[in-house]
Structure 1
Amino acid sequence: MISILLKNPLFKGTTPEELTNNFEGINYHIKNFKKGDILAFQGDPCNRLIILLKGSVRGEMIDYSGKLIKIEDIGAPRALAPLFLFGTENKYPVEVTANEEVDALFIPKESVLLLFQRNKLFLENYLNTSANYAKTLSDKLFFLSFKSIKQKLASYILRLSASAGNKIIMDRSQQEMADYFGVSRPSLARELAHMQDEGLISVDRKHITILNPEKLKKLIQ
């Protein structure tokens, strides 16, 4: 377990000896899940830190119509929703389902607080990870605010171009992009083709060249 945890960003910079000592007397348990098992339901109290030791899960949000919207896949050795362990409304924002056989480490909130006291670096890493997680959620909400797929794509491409210029490499596959936007992959592919036909972009697999940046910007204004 220790060797896996050392690969988790929460324990970055911690030595095996330090981590072993930190967990001395700590209350925790490891649980095995089969493919399709639910690790956490949307709305459940988030009163323990869950860290994947093996396998991967998917986070899905249930909308008011009962439809599942995939948010992201999470693989070992990442933690699940560390941002939501604290606060007055500390509930899981998504339903977490095992994609395959999963081993997960469960650490009660009280034990996490004890780890904070024993290891200040763990506390700092936890705060940084939570801040990064909040940024990811903020970006997700930003893209969901656009009604059309074209607007979502235009905003996403322009964000990537801020650091890469007019020639960018998409950091997600089309399926991953579709899941991220909450749309179907064929719909996303069709919109990319339409944007290319309109002379906005040129697409070569993951490589995209922005041909008309001003028109792209007008789409999201």
Structure 2
Amino acid sequence: MNFYDKLAATPLFQGLTSSDLIQIIGQTKFSFYKFASDKTIRNEGEPCRSMAFLLSGTARMVTYADDHGFSVEETVTAPCILQPERLFGLTQRYTRNFIAASSCAIMEIDKNDILRLTDEFVILRINLLNIISTLAQKADRPIWQHTPDNDEGRVLKFLRSRCTSPTGKKIIRIKMVRLAQETGIGRLAVSKALNKLQDSGCLEFSRGIITIKNQRSSYD
């Protein structure tokens, strides 16, 4: 796709007319970067001063616990925006690492330009509000969900609540002792639950690594 088509496909610019997009392209400074596979796109703790769009390729998104005691790795595919909620609010820093899983094309728009565009184009402003509202609603929902009454369900709830999307491959790096602490069940019970979930095809696990395949049904 050419730049016009890629811009129109991104969540922020969907619904704008052709003339609107042409006007935006003519009046806005866009920065473009290429990242080879395994190169870091964004680091946890890095200031978020611009909105970064993944225009092509796939990236690994790694989220760490506050004490870095465990991590969750997910795959994000283009087109998408890298943590748009971090451009505003109390903490304007990235909370995840983004690493290119293939050759990636990144486009950046400065925060001041985003503010100007949302002021000039109502649809773009609504799109941004919808994106941030959706993220907030997804983050709020897990804490109110019913706690399962069996060990396998508790393990699955822990895994599900730490993922941003129900689809795609997930890699959780966590020690058995830490998983037992997080789920509130004993280490032996965690081991048995993981074995049952592996036997049923929900996940695979080895020493300190839990892998969920690219199937929504695996942990729904």
TM range (shorter): 0.5 to 0.7
Unaligned regions of 5+ residues in structure 1, if any?
158-170, 197-204, 209-221
Alpha-carbon distance in 2 for matches of 1:65, 1:118: 42
CA gap of 1:183–1:55, structure 2 versus 1, over 3 A, is farther
Alpha-carbon distance in 1 for matches of 2:167, 2:174: 14
Mapping 1:1-221, distance limit 5 Å: 1-63=3-65, 66=68, 69-139=71-141, 149-153=152-156, 172=167, 175-176=169-170, 179=172, 190-192=195-197
SS in structure 1 at match of 2:9: coil
Alpha-carbon distance in 1 for matches of 2:60, 2:113: 26
Counterpart contact for 1:50–1:107, Cα < 8 Å: yes
What is the one-letter code of the residue matched to 1:74?
A: V
**How far did residue 137 of structure 1 move?**
3.2
Unaligned regions of 5+ residues in structure 2, if any?
161-165, 177-190, 202-214
CA gap of 1:155–1:50, structure 2 versus 1, over 3 A, is closer
What is the one-letter code of the residue matched to 1:85?
A: L
SS in structure 2 at match of 1:23: helix
In the superposition, the TM-score normalised over structure 1's length comes to 0.67
SS in structure 2 at match of 1:116: helix
**How far did residue 153 of structure 1 move?**
2.8
**How far did residue 84 of structure 1 move?**
1.0
Count of aligned residue pairs for this structure pair: 181
Q: What is aligned with 2:208?
A: none
SS in structure 2 at match of 1:46: coil
Which whole-Å deviations, capped at 9, do the CAs of 1:125-156 have from their partners, x for residues lacking one?
Answer: 0110111122333456778x99x653143689
Moved over 4 A (4+): 64-68, 139-143, 154-157, 181-184, 193-196, 205-208
Alpha-carbon distance in 2 for matches of 1:14, 1:55: 24
SS in structure 1 at match of 2:38: coil
Give the root-mean-square deviation of aligned CA atoms: 3.6
**How far did residue 189 of structure 1 move?**
6.0
**How far did residue 193 of structure 1 move?**
6.1
Q: What is aligned with 2:180?
A: none
What is the one-letter code of the residue matched to 1:44?
A: E
Alpha-carbon distance in 2 for matches of 1:115, 1:75: 25
CA gap of 1:5–1:69, structure 2 versus 1, over 3 A, is same
